[in-house]
Each structure stands twice: as structure tokens, then as C-alpha cells.
Chains A and B, each alone.
Chain A
């Protein structure tokens, strides 16, 4: 069976711009959440949040639209130089700089829920003049062109499990021999469009999200990006990199229950975890640490806890959520958390869950960082439309 290696992992989050900084700040219990109504904070002015259910968000400092995109000299820019540039292209530019050179034969999969939706207010009244950057389908083309890749790539949209499924599909493409290298670029940004929607749904916490806490009141939105390069062994050797970890299992399943709420019995998540463990050829008992979706909503966190209690030994399994620290980064969440998991495997420490004080989690969730003895580590995400996805990430050896 062909092994799938995580060869490179880059992140841009409200808690720093690489997985190591993110890990350290999580261990130090730092928060990357900002009160957007506090205009004295430098680099975070985005829009007035007074109309919405919460002013809190996890923002990338100084993220502004790049109005003069610097296209690569040998690319074929086609529409982009003449089109308005969405905010997400600026985040993509930051991620591309972090990634450095990528083999042109690499297959690109992006994962974003709403791409350049910030352009919509300007164009909604004249749908005959829509710019290319508004459609999410343009995001892989933009990134591919900037990286100098031979193929345009594609975006995977599966709500908040988008990048988890993108990683699963990338891993499958390598394992079944379709590709030697797949780059997953996941990103979403804070926009009025998304902020207003979650506010209207009544899903936002008025204060910072408190995943798994008994007083939790909803999510805090965040923005961020992650780039994860997956390769087979042959490609790993040819590009002379050292693998960070392996993705050994993946699974996805639908609850077939409700559009915007999880199945109370967690049937879809259980099925996704079961598929992932079967693919990795491990038992539930082989997993000691889990990075959960942990959004801070009443029903999601309750469902996840029930699944963990049902499938694992509740006295020994430990889990966390990072969404109280950086917010819910939507389509980027799974890839940011997978990148973090490579660090957690290296350090064998699971960060505490910021915002959690007490709840019905028993020993499973803690506000403090805890050591675990060995990998693999599991990371899961769930989303609107009833989708659930799980990845098993383990040491290279």
C-alpha cells in the first residue's frame, strides 16, 4: 500500500504564521480573537460589527486586498489583471510566499467555502458583469498560476469539512497512483456576508467561543489559511524533503439528518471515524489524542462528546478544540488543524481548550495542555449539509 506523507505544512492564523508559532501560542493559552468594535487595535479594522450578534472574530492582522497582483512572468494572466481582487487572493499570496517553490507537476486542491465573496456587494446589482475572482472556482486557477503549476486544480467545498475532505481526496489520489504530489491550499476570510449569515442563524457566541464548556453559546468566526503538501515516497526522495508525518486513514460520511445541525446520535461522525480507522488499519483504542471540530455550539459539542464517549475509553481518551483560540476558520479549519497535528505528534502534547472551564466532558476535555504517550492522532470536522470527516495522522516510521 502506497504511503501518503505530509511533506510540508504552512499556516497563517490569528495566532501566527507557521504551525510552530501556532502550537507555542496555544500551549501558552494565548487568544487570537479580537473585538472588532475596538478601533484602537492596530491592523484589524474590517467592518463595523454593531449590527451582528458578536463583535468577536479571529483576524489575520493587516490583511487587505492586494490591488496590484504581481502575476508570475511566465504565467498567462488572462482575466486576473483586469478584475477586482478579492481579499482571499491576498491571503493566498501570503500562503504562496510561505510555501516557496512547488514542483510544477503537483496537483492543486483548494478548499474554501466562500472564496472571494467580499466582491459581491459591488456586483450583485449587475450580474452581467461578475468578476472572475467572485466565483470560488477561480481560486485554484489563481493559486496554480502564481505557483507556476501545469494544471489549474480544483476547489473542494464541503462546508466546514472542506479541507478535511480535500486532504482525504489528496491522500486517496496518491494512494491509488493518480498523483505523486498533491498540494492542499485551504483558506477562508472574514466577510460581512458570512458574518451576517451566522449572526442571522443565531449561531454566534456574543463573547469568545468556549468549546465544550457548559456555558458555551456558539461560535466565534475566524480566518486563516493552510498549505499542506502530500507526496508519495518516490516524490519525497526526489525533492529531498523530510516528511513531517503520514496520513494513514481518512473517512467521510453524511448524517442524512438535518441541514444545519448535527445528528444528535453522531451517526455520521461515528461512520467517518470508523472508515478512517479501517483505512489506517488501527482500532479505536490505538488513538490517545483527538483534535475535535469543537465549534462551541451547544449541539455540535454535545454530539462530539457523545461520539468520543461511545467509541473510545472516556477515562483515557483526550481531546481538544482550538476554535476558542483562533475562531472557526470554516473551510480552512481542517487543514490548519491537520498542520497543527504534525506539531502535536512531534511534541506529544495536546494543547488545552481555550474557553473551556467546566462541562460534561469528564476527563476528555481540559483547559490545560496534556502529554500523550504515542500517535496516531485523529482530527475531525463536521459541517452544514450533514457532512463529517476524519483523518488519522501518524508518525513517519
Chain B
């Protein structure tokens, strides 16, 4: 049995964005929002304005989750890891870059957009802005329940020197065949949690993993996906 404390949560969806107690509802729930920097940045970060939308929603959800956990952005380095899972990856950004290639007939594509055609780059952006020096990587998978990213987070928290991490999901609003989930593709948007090594009074309770059966529970109640866990947390507030 593996155990972690949930100390923060942030999200960006078509309907709303924010963290528990700080929810902004969208004016247009038919699409993911184009988030303005002034809404989330509390110190200058020019790169935010150059980010593609996939990076922007992931960066924003991480920033909300850290704010919810009381971790403020600063240049002071913090040993916090970041792990994300995605089904779509940054395909939307890839298409954007391909458009820039086609417009310039292959001669003058955008280096800025190209730099964001690596799906893990928004984790790098969040690491720079928040000063996070833990490891950072992206999982790309067709099984989209979020169990893999949670189990990797639980393993990392067991290692020496990793007391806190941010983990979650980030998906573009793009259609892909979903052979494993069969119609249950993840909702577009991003959802991140801040997990810590167990402590006495975690803000959102205890997350447990029964590794022998691949079962995750929140405060003793089983959940089937990371999205369901977020709903449990919101319902309990």
C-alpha cells in the first residue's frame, strides 16, 4: 500500500478553471479558454505570451494547483517534480507548426512554435517560472484514466529527496481514435494535483494505492479515474 497527501488541485476545462475556492467560469464553454497572463502570473514571465494553447492550459493548471497548495512562484529553487499524462499530446501545436511550414513553403517556419512541439515543454516552462528543479517528464498513453501518472508519482514520493510533486493530465481539444477507452477519450483541458509525502492534516485527504490490484482510493473510497478523484475532492469541500 502506498500513501500520499493531497495538498493542492488546479484545473482548466471548457466550463471553468481555477482551484477549490477560486473558480472562474468560462464565457464560452464550447472551447478551451485562451488564458491571459495577467490572470495567473504574479511576476513577469514573457514566455507565457509565446506559449501555444496546450502549454498554456497545462502551465495554468499547474500554477493553480501550486497556488492552492500555498507554493508561490519565485526564482528560489524548489525540489518539486512535475509529471503529466496526455492522450493527444501537443498535436494541436504540431498542426499549428505545420501550418507555419506550409505558409512559408518550408523556408521560414516559426522556431518558437517548434520549441513547443515537444509535449513536455510546458513542464519546463512551469519549472522555470516556479523554480522547480525536480525531474519533469510526460507520459503519452491511450489508457487515459490517470492511474499511470498517479502510480509514477507514488513511486517518486518514496524515493529519497522527493517530498513534493505536481502530477496530472493535459489534453488538447482535438479528436483522435481512442481504441482502448472506446469513446471515453479524456475531456480536453488540464487537471493537476500537488502530492506530498504523508503528513498529519493534508488539505484534501489521503491518496492510497493498492499496488497488488492497481486500485486507488481517496480517503478510503475507490475512484476509477483522476477526473473522478477531482470530483470527489470538490464534492467534499
A: which residues have CB within 8 A of B? 51, 78-79, 83, 113-114, 117, 120-121, 124, 127-128, 130-132, 134-138, 140-141, 152-159, 162, 165, 169, 172-173, 176-178, 192-193, 196-198, 200-202, 251-260, 267-268, 271, 275, 278, 383-387, 389
Confirm or deny: B95 has a beta carbon within 8 angstroms of a beta carbon on chain A. yes
Q: Which of B97, B118, B125 has the most chain A CB within a 10 Å cutoff?
A: B118
Write out the residue numbers on chain A whose beta carbons fall within 8 Å of the beta carbon of B215: none
Could you show 17 A-B contacts with beta carbons less than 8 Å apart?
A: A124-B95, A130-B91, A131-B177, A137-B141, A141-B179, A154-B141, A156-B138, A156-B140, A157-B89, A169-B137, A172-B159, A196-B109, A198-B114, A252-B137, A254-B133, A256-B132, A384-B115
CA distance in complex: A302, B160 (Å): 30
Write out the residue numbers on chain A whose beta carbons fall within 8 Å of the beta carbon of B111: 197, 200-202
Bitwise, B93-119 to A at CB < 8 A (1) or not (0) is 011011101100111111100110111
Q: Which of A78, A124, A197, A271 contacts B117 (CB 8 A)?
A: A197
Contact status B152-A259, CB under 8 Å: no
- Extra A-B contacts (7), CB below 8 Å, given A193-B97, A254-B136: A124-B94, A130-B176, A153-B141, A158-B120, A200-B108, A201-B111, A256-B127
Tell whether A257 pairs with B155 under 8 Å between CB atoms, given A152-B141, A165-B137, A252-B137: no
Write out the residue numbers on chain A whose beta carbons fall within 8 Å of the beta carbon of B123: 254, 385
CA distance in complex: A221, B133 (Å): 28
Tell whether A132 pairs with B179 under 8 Å between CB atoms, given A176-B155, A176-B158, A254-B134: yes
Tell whether A200 pairs with B114 under 8 Å between CB atoms, given A124-B99, A124-B102, A254-B135: yes
Closest B residue, CB atoms, query A140: B141
Write out the residue numbers on chain A whose beta carbons fall within 8 Å of the beta carbon of B131: 256
Q: Which of A177, A196, A278, A389 has the most chain B CB within a 10 Å cutoff?
A: A196
B: which residues have CB within 8 A of A? 47, 77, 82, 86-89, 91, 94-95, 97-99, 101-102, 105-111, 114-115, 117-121, 123-125, 127-128, 130-143, 148, 151-152, 155, 158-161, 174-177, 179-180, 211
Write out the residue numbers on chain A whose beta carbons fall within 8 Å of the beta carbon of B137: 156-158, 162, 165, 169, 252, 387
Q: Which of B99, B107, B111, B140 has the most chain A CB within a 10 Å cutoff?
A: B140
Q: Which of A152, A156, A159 contacts B118 (CB 8 A)?
A: A159
Write out the residue numbers on chain A whose beta carbons fall within 8 Å of the beta carbon of B106: 51, 192, 196
Write out the residue numbers on chain B whose beta carbons fall within 8 Å of the beta carbon of A271: 133
Write out the residue numbers on chain B whose beta carbons fall within 8 Å of the beta carbon of A165: 135, 137
List the 5 closest pairs (A to B, CB-CB), nearest first. Answer: A385-B124, A197-B114, A252-B135, A154-B141, A158-B137
Q: Which of A113, A162, A192, A200 has the most chain B CB within a 10 Å cutoff?
A: A200
Contact status A201-B136, CB under 8 Å: no
CA distance in complex: A137, B174 (Å): 14
CA distance in complex: A32, B67 (Å): 50
Tell whether A193 pairs with B133 under 8 Å between CB atoms, given A154-B143, A258-B128: no
Q: Which of A141, A254, A257, A258 contacts B142 (CB 8 A)?
A: A141
Q: A141 to chain B: closest CB distance in Å?
A: 5
Q: B74 to chain A: closest CB distance in Å?
A: 11
Write out the residue numbers on chain A whose beta carbons fall within 8 Å of the beta carbon of B141: 137, 140, 152-155
CA distance in complex: A52, B86 (Å): 31
Q: B19 to chain A: closest CB distance in Å?
A: 22
Write out the residue numbers on chain B whose beta carbons fall within 8 Å of the beta carbon of A267: 133
Number of inter-chain CB pairs below 8 Å: 194
Q: Which of A79, A120, A196, A384 contacts B124 (CB 8 A)?
A: A384
Contact status B139-A121, CB under 8 Å: no
Q: Which of A140, A141, A385 contacts B127 (CB 8 A)?
A: A385
Closest B residue, CB atoms, query A158: B137
Contact status A172-B155, CB under 8 Å: yes
Closest A residue, CB atoms, query B88: A135
Write out the residue numbers on chain A whose beta carbons fall within 8 Å of the beta carbon of B155: 172-173, 176, 178
Q: Which of A135, A201, A253, A255 contacts B140 (CB 8 A)?
A: A135
Q: B225 to chain A: closest CB distance in Å?
A: 16
Write out the residue numbers on chain A whose beta carbons fall within 8 Å of the beta carbon of B98: 120-121, 124, 193
Write out the residue numbers on chain B whose beta carbons fall within 8 Å of the beta carbon of A389: 135
CA distance in complex: A121, B98 (Å): 7
Write out the residue numbers on chain B whose beta carbons fall within 8 Å of the beta carbon of A278: 160
CA distance in complex: A324, B210 (Å): 47
Contact status A157-B115, CB under 8 Å: no
Q: A258 to chain B: closest CB distance in Å?
A: 7
Q: Which of A114, A165, A387 has the most chain B CB within a 10 Å cutoff?
A: A387
CA distance in complex: A254, B79 (Å): 9
Contact status B133-A253, CB under 8 Å: yes
Contact status A141-B180, CB under 8 Å: yes
Write out the residue numbers on chain A whose beta carbons fall within 8 Å of the beta carbon of B130: 256
Contact status B135-A135, CB under 8 Å: no
Contact status B135-A384, CB under 8 Å: no
Tell whether A256 pairs with B77 under 8 Å between CB atoms, given A157-B140, A158-B138, A196-B101: yes
Closest A residue, CB atoms, query B116: A259
Q: B140 to chain A: closest CB distance in Å?
A: 4
Q: B213 to chain A: closest CB distance in Å?
A: 13
Closest A residue, CB atoms, query B179: A78
Q: A267 to chain B: closest CB distance in Å?
A: 7
Write out the residue numbers on chain B whose beta carbons fall within 8 Å of the beta carbon of A120: 94-95, 98
Contact status A51-B128, CB under 8 Å: no
Tell whether A193 pairs with B101 under 8 Å between CB atoms, given A79-B179, A172-B155, A254-B133: yes
CA distance in complex: A173, B211 (Å): 11
Write out the residue numbers on chain A whose beta carbons fall within 8 Å of the beta carbon of B108: 200
Q: A220 to chain B: closest CB distance in Å?
A: 17
Write out the residue numbers on chain A whose beta carbons fall within 8 Å of the beta carbon of B97: 193, 197
CA distance in complex: A247, B102 (Å): 44
